[in-house]
Amino acid sequence: HVLVALNGESESLAPFDFLVQVRKAFPTTVVICVDCSAHADDLTSERAAICDATLRGPVTEAQLRNGFAAAARNIVSRVGRGGR
């Protein structure tokens, strides 16, 4: 499992490029992004190219639990259909 803190206000795409490379190299690793600039938690597979769930920071213990549960569902769905 990988938990990544993003600075959504940054102009740099480097973190996203890095996450795309991580996803390609380790397609079955659960990746959760924490982004303080996110409007809300995104527990869907919308950002599957870079992560399995996005949590709005700062995160609570309940958010982490929900995030890891959603990420586990999303990765099973993504890997099961051959996605990366």
pLDDT digits (tens, 9 = 90+) for 25-82: 999 999 999 999 899 999 999 999 999 999 999 999 999 999 999 999 999 998 886 6
Of residues 47, 21, 12, 22, the one with CA closest to residue 33:
47
Q: Please, are residues 44 and 15 in contact by the beta-carbon 8 Å criterion?
A: no
Q: Please, are residues 36 and 45 in contact by the beta-carbon 8 Å criterion?
A: no
Q: Please, are residues 41 and 54 in contact by the beta-carbon 8 Å criterion?
A: yes
pLDDT digits (tens, 9 = 90+) for 28-43: 999 999 999 899 999 9
Instruction: Round the CA-based radius of gyration of the chain to a whole number and report it.
Output: 12
What are the beta bridge partners of residue 3?
A: 32
At 4 the three-state DSSP class reads strand
Rounded Cα–Cα distance for residues 37 and 28 (Å):
27
